[in-house]
Amino acid sequence: MLSLKGNHIFLRALEPEDLEFLYTLENDTDIWEVSGTATPYSKQVLKLYLENAHRDIYEVKQLRLCICNHNDKRLGLIDLFDFDPKNLRAGIGIVVLDKEDRNKGVGAEAISILIKYAFENLNLRQLYANVMEDNKPSIHLFKKMGFVEAGVKKDWIFSNGTFKNEILLQNIKN
């Protein structure tokens, strides 16, 4: 079994004790634009989500993992979504909650671990990411991790009274 541990961080399944972290992250309006969230989440809804987080990726087509440092501090979340075992692909999304934990290699290491897991354990052929065109740090991060720009979804996201383009990035296994 492939380890989900890196040099500075590790990925793990969500646990019931992650409720407060998940509540803080999901209700942070600064990241709603990135996550596609439009309304706040209650603790009750998130508690129900955590109770079902153990369900298999082949059943629910999603895998959400907590990004932690080696002191077990929760740093963020990384997801595989739209898991498609027939076409051997999935989307990937990541968020590091606190600004002071960003631009320190956490995202790159988490993506690297998840790419290896997706390609080796799930036998996927490709991963893709959808990033708003004004999110230059995320575009840079995904490109650094081997993703290439595959297209532009014009006027894809309506945010703050205006439409924004979304960049489609792909990483296809060699």
Tokens of 38: 């439009």
Number of domains the chain contains: 1
Q: Is residue 147 part of a domain?
A: no
Q: Is residue 150 part of a domain?
A: no
Mean model confidence pLDDT for the chain: 92
Per the domain annotation, does 166 fall within a domain?
no
Share of the chain above pLDDT 90, in %: 72
Which residues on neighbouring strands pair with residue 163, listed in sequence order?
158
pLDDT digits (tens, 9 = 90+) for 30-76: 887 777 777 888 989 898 888 888 888 999 999 999 999 999 999 99
CATH number at residue 88: 3.40.630.30
- The pLDDT score that the predictor gives to residue 87 is 98
Enclosing domain of residue 44: 9-125
**Range 89-98 average pLDDT:** 95
Whether pLDDT at 166 is above 50: yes
Q: In whole angstroms, what is the distance from residue 166 CA to residue 77 CA?
A: 21
Contacts of 100 (CB under 8 A, 6+ apart): none
pLDDT at 137 over 60: yes
Cα–Cα distance, 124 to 134 (Å, whole number): 29
Residue 148 resides in a domain: no
Q: Is residue 162 part of a domain?
A: no
Percent with pLDDT over 70 in the chain: 98
> Which neighbouring-strand residues pair with 79?
64, 93
Render pLDDT for 141-151 as a digit per residue (tens, 0 to 9). Answer: 999 999 999 99
- 24 found inside a domain: yes
Residue 174 belongs to a domain: no
Average pLDDT of the segment spanning 124-138: 96
Work out the pLDDT band at 1, boundaries 50, 70, 90.
Answer: very low
Better-scored residue on pLDDT, 160 or 113:
113
- List pLDDT tens digits, range 100-127: 989 899 999 999 999 999 999 999 999 9
Residue 143 lies in a domain: no
